[in-house]
Amino acid sequence: MSESLGMLELARVFGWLHELLVDTGLGEPWVTIITYAVLAVVVFGVLAVLALFLVWWERKIAGHIQQRFGPMRNGWHGWYQTIMDGLKLLQKEDVIIATRDKPVFFWAPVICFVAAFLAYVVMPFGKDLIVADLNIGILYILAVTTFTVISLLMAGWASHNKYALLGGMRSAAQVVSYEVPMVVSILVIVLFVGSLSMQDIVTAQSGNIFNWFIFRVPFGPIAFATYIIAATAEANRTPFDIPEAEQELVAGFNIEYSGMKFAMFFLAEFINLFTVSAIAVTLFFGGWNGAILPSWLWFLLKTCGVVLLLMLFRWTYPRLRVDQLMRFSWKFLVPVTFANLIIGAIIKYAGWYW
Amino acid sequence: MSEYLAVLIFAVVGAAIVLFTFFLASLIRPKNPYPAKSVNYECAEEPIGPSWFQFNNRFYIFALIFVVFDVEVIFLFPWAVAFGQLGLFALIEMIIFIVILLFGLFYAWRKGVLTWV
């Protein structure tokens, strides 16, 4: 069983933990279980810090685009503003709706967070930094992150609120519509790599910068464009944020949530933002490949670049109407992505690529 | 299989962290419910009727089309992974498969299903 842990790439980084556990004389399943549990807590810590940073960053960008400063009071340019916000939410009263659907209302934020968190089992943070390199990597991420839809529907239904129900239904329809173009644009990359494992996808782009899939014309840039549009919709972010349109639905599915339950939805939203950007980096920008700097730093820098792109989308584009949204997905994105898949297959068969 | 153990443990630990923060918050937050506060929010109006109302049945139609295409994509994944070894036959086969499904999309399009009223 110890070689099964050897397959675990992060065990090289956390080898000291493994040896410590073996020295205590525990049986084999427990050593693996405790190692993974510690890794889960570490990944959660990293994600929490990232989410706090992203919220602050988003507020600064929003502020500067709208010619104001954003948070300025707490620390240098308000850097610990989001930490204070988190502490405030921890102390807030949990306002309870008398007519809610009790168990569904309680479990919706938990499922929302767990669905966002599970994607990080196969996220390639760096050369050896991956919790478990599952051989179905990218398919697993798609399967797991779709659970978010169920939690949004649960939250919308259980709140017993007309705005919340409408927000939940809209978000389900939207995520479901943009799931198809997103998956098909990922399929083009899978076609050229010939593997679903995240590390295989990254190593397929190693070496020259022109090995990145974004530079492999014509299918690469098209797949990236369709992916980034669909991913923005999947993460429920602004050109496509009708589920939580503040001006018409007040806040959508999370309207009746307060305190820590609301904080979990908020945290999951920013983790999802980071997830879709990280997938874009893994698929199109060479993942952790890069010169001189350590691989995890490259991954982080590239992901922050894609996050910046999504944030600029959010603060510079107006919101779409619901009919435009559906029309755009089914009448434009789906045919384009399928045509791109067929073109990619022909190029792969004929060998017209490098 | 021990790699898939990671998925299970991540799910359990993730849920445990969330439940722990809920518990932590319940220790320090105030608790002061009264009838007016536990009415659902409708911009300060008294809510009229139940909120579990009938909604537009277009949501169901889009869900149905989605199921068709998602099952198709599940068939496409093994094809994409093994495409390097399969050659011309797989290419033509899959083009026919995709074209048949795109005909389905085109049919739904002409029937006006994709137009949100």
Domain boundaries, chain B: 2-110
Specify whether the CB–CB gap between A286 and A268 falls below 8 A.
Answer: no
Does residue A339 share a domain with residue A259? Answer: yes
Touching B: A residues 88-147, CB under 8 Å = 90-99, 109-110, 113-114, 117-118, 120-121, 131-134, 139-140
Between B25, B38, B70, which is nearest A260 by CB?
B25
CB-based contact (8 Å) between A254 and chain B? no
Specify whether the CB–CB gap between A125 and A132 falls below 8 A.
Answer: no
Does residue A132 share a domain with residue A29? Answer: no
CA–CA dist A111, A149 (Å, integer): 10
**Residue A159 reports pLDDT greater than 80:** yes
**Angle, to 10 degrees, between the axis of helix A81-91 and the axis of helix A259-284?**
140
CB-based contact (8 Å) between B17 and chain A? yes
CB-based contact (8 Å) between A223 and chain B? no
Does residue A98 share a domain with residue A136? Answer: yes
CB-based contact (8 Å) between B54 and chain A? no
**Angle, to 10 degrees, between the axis of helix B2-28 and the axis of helix A28-65?**
60
CA–CA dist A234, A178 (Å, integer): 7
Does residue A146 share a domain with residue A2? Answer: no
- pLDDT band at A213, cuts 50/70/90? confident
Between B6, B37, B116, which is nearest A323 by CB?
B116
pLDDT at A8: 45
pTM (predicted TM-score) = 0.88
Average pLDDT, chain A: 84
Q: Which CATH architecture has domain B2-110?
A: Up-down Bundle (1.20)
> Which residues of A fall within a CB distance of 8 Å from B10?
36, 40, 43, 117-118, 120-121, 131
CB distance B116–A326 less than 8 Å?
yes
CA of B113 to nearest chain A CA: how many angstroms apart?
Answer: 10
**Residue A224 reports pLDDT greater than 70:** yes
Mean pLDDT of the A49-76 span: 88
**Residue where a domain terminates, one of A49, A68, A91:** A91
pLDDT at A308: 92
Specify whether the CB–CB gap between A277 and A228 falls below 8 A.
Answer: no
Question: Between the CA of residue A197 and those of A136, A139, A352, what are the distances in Å?
Answer: 6, 9, 24
Does residue A14 share a domain with residue A118? Answer: no
| Six-digit token string for A340 | 């791109």
Average pLDDT, chain B: 83
Within 13 Å and on the Cβ side, how many CA atoms surround A235? 29
Does residue A199 share a domain with residue A87? Answer: no
**Residue A21 reports pLDDT greater than 80:** no
Highest mean pLDDT among A2-11, A26-35, B87-96: B87-96
Does residue A110 share a domain with residue A86? Answer: no
pLDDT at A246: 65
Give the range among A167-171, B11-15, B23-27 with minimum mean pLDDT: A167-171
**Residue A198 reports pLDDT greater than 60:** yes
Question: Between the CA of residue B85 and those of A32, A185, A192, B88, what are the distances in Å?
Answer: 36, 21, 12, 10
Q: What are phi and psi of B111, to 5 degrees?
A: -75, -5
- pLDDT band at A247, cuts 50/70/90? low
pLDDT at A10: 53
A58 CB-near residues (< 8 Å, 6+ apart): A311, A314
Count: domains in chain A: 2
Q: A87 to chain B: nearest residue by CA?
A: B25
pLDDT at A4: 40
Mean pLDDT of the A142-169 span: 85
CB distance A41–B105 less than 8 Å?
no
Does residue A62 share a domain with residue A25? Answer: yes
Does residue A106 share a domain with residue A59? Answer: no
**Residue where a domain terminates, one of A53, A76, A91:** A91
Give the range among A17-31, A90-104, A188-202, B18-32 with minimum mean pLDDT: A17-31
CA–CA dist A170, A251 (Å, integer): 12
CA–CA dist A141, A207 (Å, integer): 26
> Which residues of B fall within a CB distance of 8 Å from A109?
18
Between B6, B35, B114, which is nearest A331 by CB?
B114
pLDDT: which is higher, A222 or A250: A222
Does residue A166 share a domain with residue A73? Answer: no
CA of A100 to nearest chain B CA: how many angstroms apart?
Answer: 9
ipTM above 0.90, yes or no: no
Q: B77 to chain A: nearest residue by CA?
A: A187
**Residue A311 reports pLDDT greater than 80:** yes
Q: What angle do CA A335, A235, A297 make, to 5 degrees?
A: 105
| Host domain of residue A123 | 92-350
Within 13 Å and on the Cβ side, how many CA atoms surround B103? 6
- The percentage of residues in chain A with a pLDDT greater than 70, rounded to a whole number, is 93
B110 CB-near residues (< 8 Å, 6+ apart): none
pLDDT at A307: 92
For residue A9, count CB atoms less than 10 angstroms from its CB and return exposed for 0-12, middle for 13-18, buried for 19 or more: middle
Does residue A37 share a domain with residue A127? Answer: no
Residues A226-239: tens digit of each pLDDT:
999 998 888 877 77
pLDDT: which is higher, A5 or A15: A15
Does residue A122 share a domain with residue A34? Answer: no
**Residue where a domain terminates, one of A91, A121, A154:** A91
| Six-digit token string for A249 | 């639905």
